[in-house]
Amino acid sequence: VKVGPLSVSPMGFGTWAWGNQFLWGYQESMDSELQECFNLALKNGINLFDTADSYGTGKLNGQSERLLGKFIREFEGPMKSPDDVIIATKFAAYPWRLTSGQFVSACKSSLERLKLDRLGIGQLHWSTANYAPLQERALWDGLVEMYEKGLVRAVGVSNYGPKQLLKIHNYLASRGVPLSSAQVQFSLLSMGDEQTELKTVCDSLGIRLIAYSPLGLGMLTGKYTTSNLPNGPRSVLFRQILPGLESLLLCLKSIAERKGKTMSQVSINWCICKGTIPIPGVKTVRHVEDNLGALGWRLSPAEVSELEAAAMESPKKMIQNIFQTA
């Protein structure tokens, strides 16, 4: 699949959990299994790994990038160059990042943690249009500088709505920089009018949509029920949404059984059928093995419609990221 100048696998893996103790219960004892996850993914043709400079809580800030860099260096297998692995990292629009130079410094810090000379995709993590519009132009200029200095092979954004996406696309184009990707929450639980409009805008401009949370934080795996909730903050959200998901989960289960697949695989495959690149998060080898089963086959158009009709019946959808703009 093409993302600007890059050739990437039709699915990537997200690494939000790598270093996040608060939401995902990360412990450093998990590192050896995370290396196995990385190795298994790479050996099976997955070459896109999404991270961010804000991933990792407290003293582990930046841990996701550090681990990815370490895993690339310690990978035991054929790799012609580090460019074979497409690292897409997101730079946080922190309030103290007020100049393009500070944003370029953020990129250099990420490269230092990753021990890489350049990134696959450098992404602006969110737009400041809703609360600090003057800051945004400096961040856009920072993306231009990263690209011009050869620190990133492609430029992308995250949590941008259709209107703001059009603005940054036009601005970057005026500076001679193509906008290659737009990352947004996109799943059977997150396919409202705005996400649909965003996908249409992406298609018209040649921007690849990268779908994060394709499993709705785990709600679409079939693993959880109202009497079996995950630990931590996710349980609050699950308690609100799961009771209304009966028809969607039944539909997923039925199609999964027909196809000899799991509910997760069907959910991810739906994202692929919609022309997006899903990036489910992985913490265990079992997650990687299961997610790999989403590749190499396609839902029929009738099955895609069936799933969407069931999804529309859900009374509550996923809460959109608070940073997503119009």
Any idea which residues carry the catalytic annotation?
55
In single-letter form, the type of residue at position 251 comes to: C
Nearest to 158, CA basis, from 96, 220, 237, 213: 213
Look-up of token digits 């785990």: 218
- How many C-beta atoms surround the C-beta of residue 175 within 10 A? 13
In single-letter form, the type of residue at position 125 comes to: H
Beta strand segments in 92-240, E: 119-124, 152-158, 179-185, 208-212
Q: Which helix (DSSP H) or strand (DSSP E) does residue 67 occupy?
A: helix 63-73
Contact 88, 51 (CB under 8 A): yes
Contact 107, 122 (CB under 8 A): yes
CA–CA dist 20, 49 (Å, integer):
16
CA–CA dist 301, 131 (Å, integer):
41
**Coil, helix or strand at residue 220:** helix
**Coil, helix or strand at residue 81:** coil
Q: Which residues contact 310 (CB under 8 A, 6 or more apart)?
A: 247, 248, 250, 251, 252
